[in-house]
Chains A and B, each alone.
Chain A
């Protein structure tokens, strides 16, 4: 009785970390993120940023390299994609989240991909 309670408590404590780990850990999330980042109707990041091995990248924005070092805080990168005008009102970057171009989980997948760059 007592031990099962401990196991249950441990499981509850572990749940959030399992939840976070489950989505981005899978390779599919990175792949989905990459596809979204290249999709001209979705992220289309490559239109403006040098990105991985993508051909003919634009140069409106900075190259997407060392993203984990530049954005150690995952939430900050998520927010930047969601609405870059919060930090810089004059930013030309479309507010992907705010204007409904990408939903929260799509931005999550793009962040997973960007973290591999």
Chain B
């Protein structure tokens, strides 16, 4: 008797399984829904891990987690170390190219476009970042591209970020191609690599908030909201991809070039994970 019931249950489960697995083949896949479910899980992890921290405060990175560090940082932000860079960025943004146009002629909304990047370009089938768009504008107008990690690229990016503060992060993943890029970024985020065999998620998710020697490790939620940053360790302003490269070097992994497909996909994934937060760059960091 018991055996027949078990067998019946097993067959039932099999039928159900077949029905479930065969379904996506017929229906169109809602990629945005898949991604939204990931976002909910990802943000839920951090909200549970740090119950005292509000979702929007994760844009302040490690300073959202630790009161002492937050105080020091607030003091630093009273006279922002990136202020001169923002001013320089503004001048570069408006400075005419040889052809009479300027960076300003490439961007809508007076350049307050931070909230539009990164996005997946469905025609080009790749992720377009703000820094990439800045350099493509220069090249399209017969100018040389900026070096991609620091200097003028970071200054222009900082100016654009500064006039876009408060724009909501809402990165869309609407197609198979966009989802593929998202998945590449996701893999980059979770996979262990390098001589130290570490992943982004290991430190910035599982061990976020803990001490690595004297440093408190920042949460991955909100990682991309506040770039470019003036980092005390650098003594200057730099881009997100410069930080990615430094992180890879720290774990004994060969960094990818700034604006490589690998880092753009990672930026895409990470920014999607911060959907619902606000862009609040540029910022100062230790």
Contacts and interface: CB of A to CB of B under 8 A. Distances in A.
Interface in B194-242: 195-198, 202-203, 206-207, 210-214
Contacts of B197: 85, 94-95, 99
B212 A60 contact: yes
B195 A60 contact: no
Contacts of A60: 207, 210-212
Given A46-B213, A56-B213, A60-B212, A92 B195 contact: no
A94 B196 contact: yes
Given A47-B212, A47-B213, A60-B212, A94 B195 contact: yes
A94 B202 CA distance: 11
Contacts of A72: none
A63 interface: no
B211 to A, nearest CB: 5
B209 to A, nearest CB: 10
A96 to B, nearest CB: 9
Interface residues of B, number: 14
Interface residues of A, number: 15
A104 interface: no
Nearest to B214: A56
A48 B203 CA distance: 11
Task: Determine the main DSSP class of A at the interface with B.
Answer: loop
Interface in A7-42: none
Interface centre among A46, A47, A85, by most chain B C-beta atoms within 10 angstroms, is A47
A56 B211 CA distance: 9
A101 interface: yes
Contacts of A52: none
A85 B202 CA distance: 13
A46 B212 CA distance: 9
Interface string A60-96: 1000000000000000000000000100000010110
B211 A59 contact: yes
A95 B193 CA distance: 12
A99 B195 contact: yes
A92 B213 contact: no
A48 B212 contact: yes
Contacts of A92: 198, 202-203, 206-207
Contacts of A56: 211, 213-214
Contact of B210 (A58, A95, A99, A101): A58
Interface string B175-198: 000000000000000000001111
A56 B198 CA distance: 22
A95 B210 CA distance: 21
A99 to B, nearest CB: 5
B198 A94 contact: yes
A15 to B, nearest CB: 37
Given A92-B202, A92-B203, A59 B210 contact: yes
B211 A58 contact: yes
Nearest to B199: A92
6 contacts: A56-B211, A60-B207, A85-B197, A99-B196, A99-B252, A101-B196
Given A56-B213, A58-B212, A60-B212, 16 more contacts: A47-B212, A56-B211, A57-B211, A58-B211, A58-B213, A59-B211, A60-B210, A92-B202, A92-B203, A92-B206, A94-B196, A95-B197, A99-B196, A99-B197, A101-B195, A101-B196
